[in-house]
Amino acid sequence: MDLDEAKEFKERCTQCAAVSWGLTDEGKYYCTSCHNVTEISKEVINTGDIPNTKIQAINRGLKRKRKLEKGWDWYVCEGFQCILCQQAEALKTLGVGPELKNEVLHNFWKRYLQKSKQAYCKNPIYTSRRKAVVLEENLSHSDWESEPELLSDFSFPFVESGAESQSDVNTQKSFPVIKASQSETASVCSGSLDGVEYSRRKEKGIVKMTMPRTLAFCYLSLLWQRETITLSDLLRFVEEDHIPYINSFQHFPEEMKLYGRDKGIFAIESWPDYEDIYKKTIEVATFLDLPRFPDITEDCYLHPNILCMKYLMEVNLPDEMHNLTCQVVKLTGIGEVDFLTFDPIAKMAKTVKYDVQAVAIIIVVLKLLFLLDDNLEWSLSNLAEKHNEKNKEDNPWFDFRKWYQVMKRTVDEKKQKWEEARAKYIWKSEKPVYHSSIDKSVVYKRREMVVSLQKQFSTLVDSTPTVGKKSPSSFQFSWSEEDTDRTCFHGHSLQGILKKKDQSLTTKNSLYWLSTQKFCKSYCKHVTTYEESNYSLSYQFILNLFSFLLRIKTSFLHEEVSLVEKKLFKTKYSKTKKKSSRSRKVRRY
Amino acid sequence: MSDFSGELTRPMAEADQVEKSMLSGTGMSIPWLRKQMETVETGGKKEKDFAKTTSACLGLIQEALLKHQWEKAAEYMHSYFQILEDSDAGKRQAAPEIIWRLGSEILYYHPKSNVETFSTFADRMKNIGVMNYLKSVLLLLQISLQHALYLLHHGMLEDANRSLSQAETWRYGEKSSSQDILINLVQAYKGLLQYYAWSKKKMELSKLDEEDYAYGTATQNMRSHSWKTSVNLSALIQIPGVWDPFVKSYVEMLEFYGDQDGAREVLTNYAYDEKFPSNPNAHVYLYNFLKREKAPKEKLISVLKILYQIVPSHKLMLEFHRILRNSDKEEHHKLGLEVLFAILDFAGCTKNITAWKYLAKYLKQILMGNHLAWVQDEWRSRKNWWPSFHFSYFWAKNDWTEDKALACEKALVAGILLGKGCRYFRYVSKQGHQGLKKKMKRMNRAVKSYSIVDP
């Protein structure tokens, strides 16, 4: 808000008669002493360059004065386009090739507009339906439909249901009228041309654009390009604000005004969730009717062999384990091109959760080596410790206990920092988004209050500069040979755990237990459940460690481990079914 | 029921409305059903991360406050302000009070905070709840009151007075009881400030000559002050509660202007009204007032009797003992002994030499008066624990090195109650044998003649 710019306005305030004006972000005058916002707005002179050329292309350049605020006429899909553009730019700065934005994502988006009949088709919905909709809107607005809006600021916690779930006006409770003098257009409004209609639209067979789906688009393009960013990386970058998502509408061009129903569409108050985005990715790809994606071969980053290597490094496990993960990949067949490559047109479209799967393979290997029954891993550690004490010169044997101690400490620290950072996260945009014309001034005043309070308290914060925005990295931990707190185990050998058999090495441990005995076969879509207390502490620790790494639920990872085991022990599963034996332990090979 | 719909919009009024609508059976709008529907709706809905992180943030602020990490608390506070913009109206409405409580706590202790920052914060918070109804008035009053107390704490009386005067003007619709109490408190604090001014004037006045020209105007001035003050104070002290400073200053002013009856009434009411919480000070004030008034002994005794029942270890109890001792009635003499024993039951009084001296002297006096039964009555309940509580070998050694006079008094009491063989007596008489021969002899004789223990 610029006080200087408001100097030329000299009228007295209608509420407090003061002459002290400021300009709101919308270019309206507001009284600095009583915060009364006028309807008079400063004439916007510079309608200059628009940073985004694509928006201009779709923008039909209409200028009508039907709205609360002066600005361009824009459509919801243009808003999403703008956000996708920002996200693509951000990905580019993260090092992704420029083709992702200009070719892949652009094409996906064009295809989406076409499939959803918004553009690039003979009869786009805007030209055909708009008039009818406007008419219908004016007629169908019975009182009760608009009331919740009138009162939304006082007693309805659920009106602003956000983009996660589309609020349906019809489900709102009816409410006695206090004042119905406000015109309906003022209460149900939106900055975009079709915001009101968009938030109501429910068409079968059409995948509606939402904020989480922007990330699905991003991930699809990354996958198409076979980039070195996994889904969990992408979502982590979103949470760390390296990729615009929350409040991304702040960076809309100045003239794209956003209010009313647009709030529910663009303002979002949750970080993306892995499972949700994963599902949406498949949904979008199917809707777009995309062809088979480029093959994921052994030299691709997303191939389990490479991802396993990456995660082994990340969690500080010996490089030698890679040998075993590769064997598991081979035995289970999850390294095959056909298995790994995403094919939306296939009968049962599903893509591999590359990162989760790679981690699950590592967990299976850990179980093969150490059994993780809260017993064997510790006795093997004792052996390793003794050996290492005696042979200080040699390459040390991998000591599970030591590794556990180092990891536990580091992860706990990291987790605490992460939780603190989340608690400090600033959700609200600098530009407040009001829900209806009635609460507009209140929302602005509230924002101003929050800003001034924040300003006051920021002077009381410890002056030592806190670590600023982390630079994006696909690694979250770093290990070094020297630092005893962060001992590096990459070079440690597995000698103590392996033994020679015939000509090859095999694990000393010959037992194994399955994470899931029986898979759920009903239609409820979950294959297994994870009840923490049923499992060994080591297994719990490892699940927690990896699920924190990927920011996913432990149960989700447990499920993936079970699925890998299912492939690895195919014969055992069929046998147990026949014998229906309850033994949890299965002899290996 | 005509204003029914209007009432509904106020969340505070909802609870009353539930019953009303159910009884009246209009059947058109059923608020309690609506309430249920709301809960049903939330039940199925996933909590947003915004809600999760803000509540985590609140937890971290509380933790930081607990550990006195004011800077860290301020840092989280910076993020917590977002809750004022929560889309959940319920949370948004509850937020100002939480923010005020946390923020004022931080600013109260933060090293970089000062009166100015605190006042800015208070003023901002006063302006925050313009939208909310009754609740915000309550909050306003609370903030103003706390702000005033803060200013008082920093010696800024005028600013405190201003803050209180401002608070007086806020009122919303029909009064509620919680609002009333707060308004009364605000007024009473104003009264207290006026009392302070009055008291200062009184000091000046005492320096002036009565013949002086200024004397007249000064007294005039004081009168107007006191009148305002009494109006402000009297309302509050009608309400049950503990209002010690207010009562004290009110009474002082009444007394100064010769309204003894008024003062007595206030104090009697404060002490004896059963609606008021039990408050020893109320009885102390009444007793001091009556003493100043030179009230009859009977009256003083009756007041102190109640105080004795509430706080047997009160320092006035020695005075009580003296009054009882000098009374003519035998029952008072017996009570005098009880009071002494009761004082010494408390760990905090074990080294009170006056109490021991009184006891030693009084025991002799009582036994001389052939009231052995009284002593035995008191001793019966104490003989199991007093020997180790007061008369152990450890205490004998300790008392002797710290305070010989105390040790001698105690030894005499021990001798009378436990006989010559008790450790405390033996130790003290052995130690005293060299230096305090005469005293020891007297002590020995006294014990011999008065000891309640059969030889």
pLDDT at A361: 96
Under a CB-based contact definition with an 8 Å cutoff, are residues A138 and B22 in contact?
A: no
* Closest chain B C-alpha to A453 CA, distance in angstroms: 7
Cα separation, B438 vs B258, whole angstroms: 55
pLDDT, tens digit, 9 for 90 and up, residues B80-126: 999 988 888 888 888 888 999 999 999 999 988 888 889 889 888 88
pLDDT, tens digit, 9 for 90 and up, residues B354-368: 999 999 899 888 888
- Select the residue of B78, B88, B131 nearest A157 (Cβ to Cβ): B88
A186 has pLDDT over 90: no
Cα separation, A138 vs A541, whole angstroms: 59
* Mean per-residue pLDDT, A528-553: 92
Nearest residue to B86 (alpha-carbon basis) of A167, A423, A269: A269
Cα separation, B217 vs A516, whole angstroms: 95
A360 SS3 class: helix
Cα separation, B83 vs B89, whole angstroms: 10
Cα separation, B201 vs B198, whole angstroms: 5
Handedness of CA A448, A453, A458, A459 (dihedral sign): positive
Highest mean pLDDT among A127-141, A221-235, A387-401, B255-269: A221-235
β-sheet bridge partners, residue A397: A493
Q: What backbone torsions phi and psi does residue A154 show, to the nearest 5 degrees?
A: -100, -45
Nearest residue to B451 (alpha-carbon basis) of B407, B418, B411: B418
Cβ–Cβ gap B50/A459 under 8 Å? no
pLDDT, tens digit, 9 for 90 and up, residues A430-459: 888 888 877 888 888 888 889 999 988 888
B335 has pLDDT over 60: yes
Nearest residue to B77 (alpha-carbon basis) of A31, A47, A457: A457
Under a CB-based contact definition with an 8 Å cutoff, are residues A233 and A277 in contact?
A: no
- Select the residue of B11, B81, B91 nearest A454 (Cβ to Cβ): B81
Q: How far is CA A554 from the centre of its chain?
A: 17
* Closest chain B C-alpha to A228 CA, distance in angstroms: 28
Q: How far is CA B16 from the centre of its chain?
A: 35
Handedness of CA B85, B91, B96, B98 (dihedral sign): negative
DSSP string, B182-208: HHHHHHHHHHHHHHHHHHHHHHHHHHS
User: DSSP code of A395?
Assistant: P
Cα separation, A83 vs A105, whole angstroms: 12
User: DSSP code of A39?
Assistant: E
* Mean per-residue pLDDT, A4-23: 64
- Select the residue of A152, A158, A457 nearest B41 (Cβ to Cβ): A158
pLDDT band at A23 (very low <50, low <70, confident <90, very high): low
pLDDT at A463: 66
In B, which residues are within 8 Å of A457 by CB distance? Answer: 74-75, 77-78, 81, 103, 106
pLDDT band at A167 (very low <50, low <70, confident <90, very high): very low
Cβ neighbours for A347, distance < 8 A, ≥ 6 positions apart: none
Highest mean pLDDT among A182-186, A250-254, B160-164: A250-254
Nearest residue to A245 (alpha-carbon basis) of A262, A266, A229, A219: A266
Cβ neighbours for A521, distance < 8 A, ≥ 6 positions apart: none
A180 has pLDDT over 50: no
Torsion of CA A223, A229, A233, A236, to 10 degrees: -90
Lowest-confidence region among A376-385, A479-488, B279-288? A479-488
β-sheet bridge partners, residue A41: A28
β-sheet bridge partners, residue A37: A30
Candidates B12, B81, B113: best to mutate against A (most CBs of A within 10 A) is B81
Cα separation, B440 vs B430, whole angstroms: 9
Axis-axis angle for helices A354-370, A231-239 (nearest 10): 110
Residues in chain A: 589
Name the residue in chain B with its Cα closest to that of A435.
Answer: B87
Candidates B42, B61, B79, B132: best to mutate against A (most CBs of A within 10 A) is B79
A408 has pLDDT over 90: yes
Strands A21-23 and A28-31: antiparallel
B8 has pLDDT over 60: no
pLDDT at A64: 43
Cα separation, A541 vs A409, whole angstroms: 12
- Select the residue of A164, A425, A461 nearest B53 (Cβ to Cβ): A425
Q: What backbone torsions phi and psi does residue A504 show, to the nearest 5 degrees?
A: -110, 170
Cα separation, A329 vs A336, whole angstroms: 9
Cα separation, B50 vs B87, whole angstroms: 10
Amino acid at A496: G
pLDDT, tens digit, 9 for 90 and up, residues B424-434: 888 888 887 77
A26 SS3 class: coil
pLDDT at A29: 66
End-to-end CA distance of chain A: 73
Under a CB-based contact definition with an 8 Å cutoff, are residues A515 and A361 in contact?
A: no
Q: What backbone torsions phi and psi does residue A190 show, to the nearest 5 degrees?
A: -160, 150
Under a CB-based contact definition with an 8 Å cutoff, are residues B311 and B345 in contact?
A: no
Highest mean pLDDT among A270-279, A392-401, A571-580, B431-440: A270-279
* Closest chain A C-alpha to B189 CA, distance in angstroms: 28
Cβ neighbourhood burial of A236 (10 Å; 0-12, 13-18, 19+): buried
pLDDT at A235: 95
Which H helix or E strand runs over B419?
none
* Closest chain B C-alpha to A456 CA, distance in angstroms: 8
* Mean per-residue pLDDT, B285-290: 92
pLDDT at A7: 60
pLDDT at A296: 92
- What order do you get walking across the sheet with A28-31 strand by strand? A21-23, A28-31, A37-41
pLDDT band at A239 (very low <50, low <70, confident <90, very high): very high
Cβ–Cβ gap B41/A458 under 8 Å? no
Distances (CA, A) of A472 to A89, A94, A476, B271: 15, 7, 9, 71
* Closest chain A C-alpha to B315 CA, distance in angstroms: 46
End-to-end CA distance of chain B: 89
B25 has pLDDT over 60: no
Q: What backbone torsions phi and psi does residue A41 show, to the nearest 5 degrees?
A: -120, 150
pLDDT at B85: 87
In A, which residues are within 8 Å of B77 by CB distance? Answer: 457
Cβ neighbourhood burial of A287 (10 Å; 0-12, 13-18, 19+): middle
Cα separation, A154 vs B10, whole angstroms: 9
Strands A504-507 and A28-31: unpaired
Nearest residue to B322 (alpha-carbon basis) of B370, B350, B358, B375: B358
pLDDT band at A549 (very low <50, low <70, confident <90, very high): very high
pLDDT, tens digit, 9 for 90 and up, residues B187-235: 888 888 888 888 887 787 777 766 666 666 767 767 776 677 777 787 7
Cβ–Cβ gap A155/B124 under 8 Å? no
Candidates B87, B106, B113, B114: best to mutate against A (most CBs of A within 10 A) is B87
Cα separation, B45 vs B172, whole angstroms: 36
* pTM of the model as a whole: 0.69
Candidates A461, A464, A467, A551: best to mutate against B (most CBs of B within 10 A) is A461
Cα separation, B399 vs B384, whole angstroms: 21
Cα separation, B407 vs B394, whole angstroms: 12
pLDDT at A569: 87
Cα separation, B432 vs B357, whole angstroms: 18
Cα separation, B338 vs A282, whole angstroms: 89
Nearest residue to B54 (alpha-carbon basis) of B31, B28, B85: B85
A190 has pLDDT over 50: yes
pLDDT band at A204 (very low <50, low <70, confident <90, very high): confident
pLDDT at A524: 65
Task: Could you list the beta-strand ranges (E) of B206-331.
Answer: none
Cβ–Cβ gap B72/A459 under 8 Å? no
pLDDT at A16: 66
Cβ neighbours for A564, distance < 8 A, ≥ 6 positions apart: A328, A332, A334, A357, A360, A361, A364
Distances (CA, A) of B78 to A415, B60, B89, B177: 21, 12, 21, 35
DSSP string, B131-182: T--HHHHHHHHHHHHHHHHHHHHTT-HHHHHHHHHHHHT---SS--HHHHHH
Nearest residue to A249 (alpha-carbon basis) of A259, A236, A234, A240: A259
pLDDT, tens digit, 9 for 90 and up, residues B387-442: 889 988 898 888 989 988 898 888 888 888 888 888 888 888 888 777 777 777 87
pLDDT, tens digit, 9 for 90 and up, residues B314-332: 989 999 999 998 888 888 9
Name the residue in chain B with its Cα closest to that of A462.
Answer: B71
Strands A37-41 and A21-23: unpaired
User: DSSP code of A123?
Assistant: S
Distances (CA, A) of B97 to A156, A421, B211, B244: 20, 25, 56, 28
Q: Which two tokens stand for residue A283?
A: 């949904």
- Does A206 or B215 have the greater pLDDT score? A206
pLDDT band at A561 (very low <50, low <70, confident <90, very high): very high
Under a CB-based contact definition with an 8 Å cutoff, are residues A105 and A218 in contact?
A: yes
β-sheet bridge partners, residue A22: A30
Distances (CA, A) of A32 to A43, A444, B93: 19, 12, 24
Cβ–Cβ gap B48/A270 under 8 Å? yes
Lowest-confidence region among A13-17, A221-225, B68-72, B308-312? A13-17
pLDDT band at A188 (very low <50, low <70, confident <90, very high): confident
pLDDT band at A518 (very low <50, low <70, confident <90, very high): confident
Task: Could you list the beta-strand ranges (E) of A283-356.
Answer: none
